[in-house]
């Protein structure tokens, strides 16, 4: 390269060329994604053929089940709501390149907080809902401070500490549910139904509840936070290069702590959604590793908040389709897991490849 100022014409040429190249890449990426999804579905079909007496019926259930009736659409949206919230939680911490896996624990404590408010704090109508959601968000936030502070102060590896704290949260939930919230006469380990004023209103005739709108609002909020506030800027820079962030004057420790805590807000709300919307009471094993599905959702969205609801909808479609397949065609949920795993593998392989190609374009000679 030469270093004298380039002529305006040369600069314009550079610019046009790069923009053209970007367009070309976007197109080929879209084409490859379509092919990958097709291949993934074909593999899924092959597995179904191998295990089912009526593979066509089974596979139709998987592919069209979630939209085959209004109530199933409702179930799909309901599930996608939880996954969107969890995906957002993961996207926030992963953006700061903090590998906190605390979303599961934050979900449990959020569920617990929302449940306690919903059962034992009688408040008038809208206020009760707000209090339940706020309690859940607060619980998730506060719990996130723990591994955040441990890392910022003691340099404690967050993968380890969050895995450990998750178990602690789940056991605490079990403990309080079993010994305090469960009515002595209940046959199952669950609480009474929440007070009616603490139950999220549903859209007529479906399971879609107000949390769906809340999740979309959170998508917007996280996007604004990350891309339109100084605070989100700090978080993205710490994630992009922590040395650069510190050099530039960003208080990196505070960012680390807050990223883990803030990601607890959507995670806690996911717990509130399960308690106040889906089950309308506290139940044992309310999540069983949903946060891992949140990781899949977030990573497939490239940790971009606006893509999270899209990948959540796609992923939930597969989950609900699998449930329907199990019920209508007696293909087990275990098979569905296998198909899910295959599709995740193929799609992530595809996505990583695209990102790598994009990075390589900037290769210095």
- Residues numbered 249 to 278 that lie near other proteins (CB under 8 A) are 249-251
Which listed residue (30, 178, 216, 330) binds other proteins by CB under 8 A?
178
175 binds other proteins (CB under 8 A): yes
Q: Annotate 11-67 with three-state secondary structure.
A: HHHHHHHHHHHHHHHHHHHHHHHHHHHHHHHHHHHHHHHHHCCCHHHHHHHHHHHHH
Which 319-338 residues touch other proteins, going by CB under 8 A?
A: 332-338
Beta-bridge mates of residue 190? 283
Which 78-117 residues touch other proteins, going by CB under 8 A?
A: none
359 binds other proteins (CB under 8 A): yes
Which listed residue (34, 56, 153, 306) binds other proteins by CB under 8 A?
153
Task: Choose the stretch contacting other proteins; rule: CB under 8 A; options: 27-35, 156-164, 187-195, 311-319.
Answer: 156-164
Determine the number of helices (DSSP H) and then strands (DSSP E) in the chain: 14, 0
Size of the site for other proteins (CB under 8 A): 86
341 binds other proteins (CB under 8 A): yes
E strands, 313-357, are: none
CB of 92 to other proteins, least distance (A): 17
Which listed residue (39, 145, 174, 203) binds other proteins by CB under 8 A?
174
Which 202-231 residues touch other proteins, going by CB under 8 A?
A: 224, 228-231
Angle between helices 103-120 and 70-95 (to 10 degrees): 120
Maximum Cα–Cα distance across the chain: 84
344 binds other proteins (CB under 8 A): yes
155 binds other proteins (CB under 8 A): yes
Which listed residue (29, 189, 328, 342) binds other proteins by CB under 8 A?
342
Which 38-77 residues touch other proteins, going by CB under 8 A?
A: 51
Q: What angle do CA 329, 333, 334 make, to 5 degrees?
A: 125
Q: What is the rounded distance in angstroms from the CA atom of residue 133 to the CA atom of residue 275?
A: 10
Which 8-37 residues touch other proteins, going by CB under 8 A?
A: 11, 14-15, 18-19, 21
Task: Choose the stretch contacting other proteins; rule: CB under 8 A; options: 118-126, 187-195, 267-275, 346-354.
Answer: 346-354
159 binds other proteins (CB under 8 A): yes
Q: What is the rounded distance in angstroms from the CA atom of residue 245 to the CA atom of residue 344?
A: 33
Q: What is the rounded distance in angstroms from the CA atom of residue 354 to the CA atom of residue 335?
A: 29
202 φ, ψ to 5°? -105, 155
Q: What is the rounded distance in angstroms from the CA atom of residue 310 to the CA atom of residue 216?
A: 11
Which 133-152 residues touch other proteins, going by CB under 8 A?
A: 150
- Please answer whether residues 113 and 135 qualify as being in contact, where contact means their C-beta atoms are separated by less than 8 angstroms: yes
Which listed residue (161, 263, 303, 311) binds other proteins by CB under 8 A?
161
247 binds other proteins (CB under 8 A): yes
CB of 192 to other proteins, least distance (A): 20
Q: What is the rounded distance in angstroms from the CA atom of residue 325 to the CA atom of residue 332?
A: 8
Q: What is the rounded distance in angstroms from the CA atom of residue 200 to the CA atom of residue 72?
A: 19
CB of 123 to other proteins, least distance (A): 29
CB of 64 to other proteins, least distance (A): 22
């Amino acid at each position: 390269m030469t270093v004298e100022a380039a002529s305006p014409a040369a600069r314009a040429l550079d610019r046009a060329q790069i923009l053209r190249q970007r367009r070309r890449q976007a197109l080929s990426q879209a084409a490859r994604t379509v092919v990958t999804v097709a291949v993934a579905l074909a593999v899924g079909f092959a597995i179904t053929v191998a295990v089912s007496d009526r593979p066509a019926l089974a596979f139709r259930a998987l592919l069209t089940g979630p939209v085959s009736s209004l109530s199933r659409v409702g179930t799909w949206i309901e599930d996608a709501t939880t996954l969107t919230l969890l995906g957002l939680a993961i996207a926030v911490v992963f953006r700061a390149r903090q590998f906190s896996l605390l979303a599961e624990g934050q979900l449990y404590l959020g569920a617990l907080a929302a449940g306690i408010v919903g059962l034992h704090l009688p408040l008038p109508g809208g206020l009760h809902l707000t209090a339940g959601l706020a309690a859940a968000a607060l619980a998730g936030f506060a719990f996130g401070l723990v591994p955040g502070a441990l890392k910022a102060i003691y340099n404690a590896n967050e993968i380890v500490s969050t895995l450990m704290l998750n178990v602690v949260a789940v056991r605490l939930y079990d403990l309080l549910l079993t010994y305090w919230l469960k009515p002595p006469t209940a046959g199952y380990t669950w609480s009474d139904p929440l007070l009616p004023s603490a139950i999220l209103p549903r859209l007529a005739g479906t399971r879609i509840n107000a949390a769906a709108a809340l999740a979309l609002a959170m998508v917007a909020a996280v996007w604004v936070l990350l891309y339109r506030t100084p605070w989100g800027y700090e978080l993205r820079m710490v994630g992009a290069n922590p040395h650069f962030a510190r050099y530039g004057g960003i208080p990196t420790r505070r960012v680390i702590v807050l990223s883990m805590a803030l990601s607890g807000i959507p995670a806690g709300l996911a717990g509130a959604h399960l308690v106040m919307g889906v089950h309308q009471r506290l139940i044992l094993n309310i999540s069983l590793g949903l946060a891992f599905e949140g990781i899949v959702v977030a990573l497939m969205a490239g940790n971009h908040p606006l893509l999270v609801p899209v990948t959540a909808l796609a992923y939930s479609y597969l989950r609900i389709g699998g449930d329907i397949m199990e019920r209508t065609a007696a293909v087990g949920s275990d098979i569905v897991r296998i198909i899910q795993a295959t599709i995740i593998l193929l799609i992530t392989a595809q996505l990583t490849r695209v990102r790598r190609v994009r990075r390589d374009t900037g290769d210095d000679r």
